[in-house]
């Protein structure tokens, strides 16, 4: 028997040391959309590889799913984690979604964090700046330095690692307290970035951003 079902934009709860009990918000949904195709990404292969934002999931749908979850379960989470099937900053409505979530949770007495996890490719775009006002942290995962980055991330178009580094350097001047880098360690076949030489170069790059 066929069953009708609908993908939800809200998922979890997930437990971790870094974020405690987190509730996920996915402003993209399937298929995976990102400006990169990282070999180490836990979401698998990027299906829609693009640097052009669009409206994939609208505000009303996200808020409906969030309120349904809270009505059934209460405020049982400590972190609202905006990340789903790809880079959430590819949705033009993400700044509005984050603002509305912030407002709703504040009115409910929520005292946890709102975190956006992004590839960082679009983080220096002017239309994204409102996100910084309403989140506690924009988290950018970095796994590789200059010498390996393009090989293992397959960026869209002519985007380069240097573009990402420069974006972080620009953002940190104004929003340094809202920016964090997640150092990703991985193994792929016979390669691992946990080698001392790779990590030394990577940490040097991260320090240069002053994040």
DSSP bridge partners of 81 = 24, 115
DSSP bridge partners of 7 = none
In a domain? residue 3:
no
- In this prediction, residue 7 carries a pLDDT of 86
- In this prediction, residue 171 carries a pLDDT of 93
CA 195, CA 143: separation in Å to the nearest integer?
12
Residue 187, SS3? strand
- In this prediction, residue 107 carries a pLDDT of 97
CB atoms within 10 A of CB 154: 15
In a domain? residue 57:
yes
- In this prediction, residue 3 carries a pLDDT of 57
Q: Which residues have C-beta within 8 Å of that of residue 40, sequence separation ≥ 6?
A: 143, 152, 184, 186, 188
- In this prediction, residue 164 carries a pLDDT of 96
The alpha carbons of the chain give a radius of gyration, in whole angstroms, of 17
Number of domains making up the chain: 1
In a domain? residue 5:
no
In a domain? residue 157:
yes
In a domain? residue 125:
yes
* Intervals of the chain under pLDDT 70: 1-5
In a domain? residue 176:
yes
Domain residue limits at 161: 10-209
Q: Judge whether 89 and 128 are in contact, CB under 8 Å.
A: yes
Per-residue DSSP letters for 188-200? ETTEETTSHHHHH
Hunting for tokens 């573009």 — which residue is that? 163
| H-type alpha helices, the chain | 59-73, 94-107, 129-134, 146-153, 161-175, 196-209
- In this prediction, residue 1 carries a pLDDT of 47
- In this prediction, residue 57 carries a pLDDT of 96
Q: Judge whether 60 and 95 are in contact, CB under 8 Å.
A: no
Tens of pLDDT along 163-207?
A: 999 999 999 999 999 999 999 999 999 999 999 999 999 999 999
Q: Give the CATH number of the domain where residue 76 resides.
A: 3.20.20.70
In a domain? residue 4:
no
């Amino acid at each position: 028997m066929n069953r009708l079902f609908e993908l939800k934009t809200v998922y979890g709860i997930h437990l971790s040391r870094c974020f405690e009990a987190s509730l996920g918000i996915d402003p993209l949904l399937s298929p995976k959309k990102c400006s990169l195709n990282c070999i180490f990404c836990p979401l698998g292969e990027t299906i829609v590889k693009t640097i052009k934002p669009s409206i994939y999931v609208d505000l009303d749908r996200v808020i409906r799913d969030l309120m349904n979850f809270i009505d059934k379960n209460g405020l049982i989470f400590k972190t609202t984690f905006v990340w789903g099937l790809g880079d959430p900053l590819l949705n033009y409505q993400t700044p509005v979604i984050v603002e509305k979530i912030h407002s709703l949770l504040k009115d409910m007495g929520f005292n946890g964090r709102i975190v956006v996890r992004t590839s960082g490719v679009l983080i220096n775009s002017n239309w994204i700046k409102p996100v910084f006002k309403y989140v506690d942290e924009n988290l950018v995962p970095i796994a590789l330095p200059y010498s390996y980055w393009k090989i293992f991330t397959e960026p869209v178009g002519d985007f380069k690692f240097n573009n990402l580094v420069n974006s972080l350097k620009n953002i940190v001047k104004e929003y340094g307290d809202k920016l964090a880098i997640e150092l990703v360690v991985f193994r792929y076949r016979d390669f691992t970035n946990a080698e001392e030489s790779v990590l030394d170069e990577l940490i040097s790059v991260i320090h240069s951003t002053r994040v």
